[in-house]
Amino acid sequence: MVRKMFELFKNEVWRLKLWIVMPAIIYLLLNSSSIYFGEYPDSGLMIGNVHSLIFAISSVLLGLVQFHTYKKPNRWIYLINRPASTRSLCLTLLATGSVIVFFQFVIPDFIITINMDNLSPFLIEKRHYFQALYVFLISMGFYLSGVYIQLSHSRGAFLVLILPIMVMTSLLIGGPVIIISFIVMVWLLLLVLSVFKANTHNNKISILGKILAIIPFQLGLYFIIVMVLAFTFQLRLMILDGAGSEIPWNEYYDNDVYSHVEFLEGNEQLALNLLEAKNTTQDKYSDQMKNIKTYNSEPDFKLFYPSLLLPYQQKIQRLKIIDSVNEMEWTFSLDNMLYINTGHKHANQNNQLSRKSENGVITEFKTIPNVVSNNFGFQVITEQKIYSYDPDFQQLNLRFQLSENESFISGFNSSGTLMNILTTKNMYVFDTEIAKHPTKTLAPLTVIELPGAHENLTSIEIAEMMDKTLIGFLFGKLSSKGHYPAVQIVIEIDHSINEIKTLATRPLKSGFGEMYEMMNWYISPLTHWVTEYFIKPQLESDPLKPISTQPDLQLSKQLKTLVFIMVLVSVILVLVLLRKRDLTTIEKASWILLTCLSGLTGLITFLLLTDKKIHLNHK
């Protein structure tokens, strides 16, 4: 039997031989140009996306084409009449696909990496070799999706693509993609097995197959609905309201709405905030506010420590220090956990750059640091320490250190004669002139406790007035999801006496009510739960400790009522439709339970997955 399976495997490979050659050539050409431009070993997300697109298109097509053949009755009968189990047959065909994927993408990737490791000056590490594994897993994910779409009789089968797309998204946001793509591949494999078996058993899909299908169906529907709504909303704004004239985005909202304030420019945010201040304060600053220039700062990164960082993901982490003064660059080596001199004229990979201990010995970083570059120069930031790169000494100087219970969420930001840095708890203000001297550890001029949760912090506007400094905080990043309130707070600093005063607090409308239709159409508590806890766990290794100084926003009564009514209607409809479905009692109960949990998407999933009986090659 094994020999016959091998024959099937061999014939299948031979049948699809062109599928190995063509994508492999395209992939090799693409990577050759990447190498030519020096991007391959530290390829950014864009390269990663282009690659993923090739894997996606090629692999989905492979799955569709390979199994399209078996839609023909004679081919199908020829296949299933072999003296082998359906699982063996299915796995043999899938093994063919996996071998093709391996030769298409994995082998070229591996060869390129080995070559670069031995022949180029680029820093090639374990993560570069792991990239081949990712390439295999993501390609298999798309391939299996293609197979599933071909074999499934459901009209919504294409929704299964949401799973490999999620892996790609995880790549974009820095998730542990190897693990996720492996889980997704196994998931899809089980789905394909279940649907393959169903084709030989009168289209009877097992309970496991149904359960496995429900989640991608739910997610896919959710994203489609959100996109349609967003597009409709956008279209309405552009075509109907805009009527051909250019209207700033924020002008569609009242000025006390978060989305309006978020997009205000210049000093408008601060001026608006000051409207809530006392009359005397307003009078005091009204003349200055007309002309004042403000500087914006915002939390610009999150520290995270994935177990394995693919080259595609390193731009997220920003691992390079480009020393233009000495025409050299430093790349963070994940194998060594310190920077190594790479690229450019004076590359010498024996040169290492890291933290210096008191006795001058170079010590490794404990976690992967983040590199931020602005007019303050290159800053290397760990959870609690920020270093500046000194091109003169080619060393990292410790500039500022936090206590254990807070973390950096930005590098040094310049704001006139002042500089600031944001942490999960505070905003530290420094004197720019002193901060520019790179050797000394800095002492802040002023420490301002963040007047809200750092996760909810959108931006900070700093205005150095003639006599005082005003800082406007805009909170509301998470308010549309109902986590925290949207609010503007302006404080005043008198540097001469180091006095900090809150001048005005301006609550803003946000949360579900405001951007409801556009951004967060939470059709059911389940989809809400999925977006919050299913997508977010990709960042679970995020070390930031949320510190909320404001209570969470409660859902409004109207919203709760709306959600309840929608869920109720969905459940009623499912109950009505169940009468016309040929399902077991357990299956019926499961659909009712799912709809109770997921509301409208549960209803739509029910409609898509419980259609009329369909037999493979019926007739």
Which range touches other proteins (CB under 8 A), out of 55-63, 255-263, 291-299, 568-576? 291-299
| Least distance (Å) between residue 516 CB and other proteins | 39
Among residues 2, 119, 240, 466, the one that binds other proteins under rule CB under 8 A? 466
Please say which residue, 265 or 494, places its beta carbon nearer to other proteins. Answer: 494
Please say which residue, 404 or 433, places its beta carbon nearer to other proteins. Answer: 433
Structure tokens at 541: 């290794």
Please say which residue, 392 or 404, places its beta carbon nearer to other proteins. Answer: 392
By CB under 8 A, residue 617 contacts other proteins = no
Residue pointed to by tokens 């090659």 = 617
Q: Cα separation of 41 and 127, whole Å?
A: 10
Cα distances (Å, whole numbers) of residue 309 to 56, 182, 305, 588:
21, 15, 8, 44
Element (H, E) at 552: none
Residue 211 Rama label (left phi>0; alpha psi -120 to 50; beta)? alpha
Please say which residue, 4 or 437, places its beta carbon nearer to other proteins. Answer: 437
Long-range contacts of 424-433 (CB under 8 A, 24+ apart): 424/450, 424/454, 424/544, 424/545, 424/546, 424/547, 425/449, 425/450, 425/454, 425/547, 426/450, 427/460, 427/471, 428/400, 429/469, 429/493
| Least distance (Å) between residue 288 CB and other proteins | 4
Q: Cα separation of 475 and 547, whole Å?
A: 14
Please say which residue, 81 or 291, places its beta carbon nearer to other proteins. Answer: 291
| Least distance (Å) between residue 446 CB and other proteins | 9
Please say which residue, 119 or 497, places its beta carbon nearer to other proteins. Answer: 497
Among residues 431, 532, 542, 587, the one that binds other proteins under rule CB under 8 A? 431
By CB under 8 A, residue 449 contacts other proteins = no
| Least distance (Å) between residue 386 CB and other proteins | 20
In this structure, are strands 469-475 and 457-464 parallel, antiparallel, or unpaired?
antiparallel
Please say which residue, 296 or 541, places its beta carbon nearer to other proteins. Answer: 296
Residue 380 has what DSSP assignment? E
By CB under 8 A, residue 494 contacts other proteins = yes
By CB under 8 A, residue 262 contacts other proteins = no
By CB under 8 A, residue 500 contacts other proteins = no
Q: Cα separation of 259 and 420, whole Å?
A: 25
Round to the nearest angstrom and report the end-to-end CA distance of the chain: 30
Q: What is the CA radius of gyration of the chain?
A: 29
Count of chain residues binding other proteins (CB under 8 A): 28
Structure tokens at 179: 């693990």
Please say which residue, 357 or 496, places its beta carbon nearer to other proteins. Answer: 496
Which range touches other proteins (CB under 8 A), out of 22-30, 460-468, 482-490, 526-534? 460-468
Among residues 418, 504, 594, 608, the one that binds other proteins under rule CB under 8 A? 418
Among residues 52, 297, 458, 469, the one that binds other proteins under rule CB under 8 A? 469
Q: What is the DSSP string of 74-112?
A: HHHHHHHTSSS-HHHHHHHHHHHHHHHHIIIIIHHHHHH
Please say which residue, 334 or 462, places its beta carbon nearer to other proteins. Answer: 462
| Least distance (Å) between residue 349 CB and other proteins | 25
What are the backbone angles phi and psi of residue 165, rounded to the nearest 5°?
-65, -35
12-71 residues in contact with other proteins (CB under 8 A) are none
Please say which residue, 251 or 467, places its beta carbon nearer to other proteins. Answer: 467
209-238 residues in contact with other proteins (CB under 8 A) are none
Which range touches other proteins (CB under 8 A), out of 73-81, 109-117, 416-424, 581-589? 416-424
By CB under 8 A, residue 445 contacts other proteins = yes
By CB under 8 A, residue 417 contacts other proteins = yes
What angle separates helix 86-101 from helix 2-15, to the nearest 10 degrees?
A: 40
154-183 residues in contact with other proteins (CB under 8 A) are none
Please name the residues in contact with 415: beta carbons below 8 A apart, sequence gap of 6 or more.
295, 297, 462, 464
**In 3-state terms, what secondary structure has residue 41?**
coil
By CB under 8 A, residue 517 contacts other proteins = no
Which range touches other proteins (CB under 8 A), out of 464-472, 504-512, 583-591, 595-603? 464-472
Please say which residue, 323 or 514, places its beta carbon nearer to other proteins. Answer: 323
By CB under 8 A, residue 467 contacts other proteins = yes
Which range touches other proteins (CB under 8 A), out of 195-203, 412-420, 514-522, 541-549? 412-420
Please say which residue, 121 or 391, places its beta carbon nearer to other proteins. Answer: 391
Cβ atoms of residues 153 and 361 within 8 Å? no
**In 3-state terms, what secondary structure has residue 535?**
helix
Residue pointed to by tokens 């590199």 = 371
| Least distance (Å) between residue 163 CB and other proteins | 50
By CB under 8 A, residue 266 contacts other proteins = no
In this structure, are strands 338-342 and 352-353 parallel, antiparallel, or unpaired?
antiparallel
Please name the residues in contact with 543: beta carbons below 8 A apart, sequence gap of 6 or more.
303, 304, 305, 383, 407
| Least distance (Å) between residue 445 CB and other proteins | 5
342-401 residues in contact with other proteins (CB under 8 A) are 391-393
Cβ atoms of residues 331 and 343 within 8 Å? yes
Q: Cα separation of 258 and 275, whole Å?
A: 15
| Least distance (Å) between residue 472 CB and other proteins | 17
**In 3-state terms, what secondary structure has residue 70?**
helix
By CB under 8 A, residue 325 contacts other proteins = yes
By CB under 8 A, residue 465 contacts other proteins = yes
| Least distance (Å) between residue 361 CB and other proteins | 19
By CB under 8 A, residue 292 contacts other proteins = yes
Interface positions with other proteins (CB under 8 A) = 284, 287-288, 290-293, 325, 391-393, 416-418, 431, 433, 437, 439, 445, 464-469, 494-496
